[in-house]
Structure 1
Amino acid sequence: MLIPDGFPGQRMLVLPRPRVREFLLQPGTAHLVVTDCGYFPRAHSHGRVRPTPIGQLVVLVCVEGAGWCETPAGRFDVGAAQVVILPPGQPHAYGADDDDPWTLWWFHVAGSDIESFLRTANMTVENPVRQVRNLYHVVSLMTEVVQWMERDSTTPSLLAAAGAAWHVLTLLAADRVGADDTSDLIEQAADYLRTHITEHVTVAQLAAMASLSTSHFSALFKRQLGYPVLQYQTMLRMSRAREMLDTTSRTVASIAADVGYPDSFYFARQFKKVHNMTPREYRNQHKG
């Protein structure tokens, strides 16, 4: 039995349909609106069957695990680092793999430009699954969509969410080939860490987004950048911390939280391990 939502740790936003209609009728906003979006981690038994078509484009980004989708053209397997694009006005179905359920970022969009964009980008029911080179960038934008929709349903927030969703679609249209160049994958992973410095990102998550085993990904990362993943992440955080210690009067606890350490005492220990001095001692040094 497939279930549409209700997964531990999920995030889901559904814009009220009167607000959708209002937004689509406003001058300058009719081109695209995010109607629904969310994040489903390890979504056991997740799926939807829509024999009656809906009016929204559905985009599912699988970052871990596996699943499947069906369109009038047949059934397609979906794996980690792949994206499902289901055009509006067509029946479809999709679901998580029974043994290795997917983790999804997803959104639905509607708007006057969707149909022509899909035709130009060759996003059809015949080829609903594609793998993109820079999944890290796509996931960052999907996160942005959800964050804006969580903020409120005012026109500025909906415009910002629509902008991020449009960026996702253009990336998917422009970058249709799975990357075999592992150096690109590692650089994208490093960039993802740089832009998600406060988040708890595991090596396994990064490896899954690159469609590599954790051990293989870890070896490639260290060979290319010279440091293990978690040590590199610590270096990024400490660099940001030093900048704030040098340029602001913020408390150590506030800086710790801003660089991904809710526990300021743990942050201080990590800082001393790297710099051989405490954050306060570093701040009091004469520099420049």
Structure 2
Amino acid sequence: MITPPAGQLIAVPLQHPPQVVSLGFGLHGVRDRVEHWLLPELYALHIYDWHGSLKIGAVVHPIRPGDLSLIPPGTPMEYRYSGPSPHLYAHFRLTGGASSIEIPTVQPLGPLASEFRRRLGAVSSTDDRAQTSAAVWALLWEAAARRREPEPPAGDQHAAVVTAVGYIERNLAGPLRVSVIARHALVSPSHLNRLFHATHGISVSTYIRDQRAERAAHLLRDTTQTISSVAASVGMPDLQAFNKFCRSRLGAPPSRLRPQSDRSKP
């Protein structure tokens, strides 16, 4: 049994992909307004679309649409519903590793909620275990990243920069064009570049390359994801181009950035 510590943060081993046992859509609160749950051996990840509360130990968390919870195995949960309460869920196992990442048991996803729902919902009906595992693994890492990177103070960044950064983060695996990012941020490409220079000291394109380099370095050094999968995850499925990018931005080819035991993985 893993008990969430004070402050409701849990240490989660994310070095290896999860073994997803069940994933799909749930509906509660139709008959009973209070339910008690416990999964003895599985983690539970939920993305909520309802108002109510979740009690973990002595701590009661208000639940709102767009909140995400991650509950470790063996943790008693008490849910209180205000009516029919739908959510997306994933139940999975995680194997231990040398280190763990702290993730809140409950956190608001804010503007990322719809994107998290879309990505989890997209694999809810697939029989491809590798695809399901990869989707849940990616969401867990992003939930951990939100924990490590506090929200900027109100007024600290222009709204267009905040929107653009969120769009880049969600779409790093695909092609990213400044014109498209600017359209989502509701400003012109030239104005967005000026805002990025004022906020980050670099252009939008340089920011994108920096983010790709940072994510590639993390995935190569800290996970068991294959090099070809890492390349695709940062928007460079061409392995020759990815190799050149790593040499230029990270100082070594991808194979040299891996832990010694993983260097044989293509």
TM-score bracket, normalised by the shorter chain, equals: 0.3 to 0.5
Relative contact order, higher structure (CA 8 A, sep 6+): 2
Q: How high is the TM-score relative to the length of structure 2?
A: 0.46
Higher-Rg structure is 1
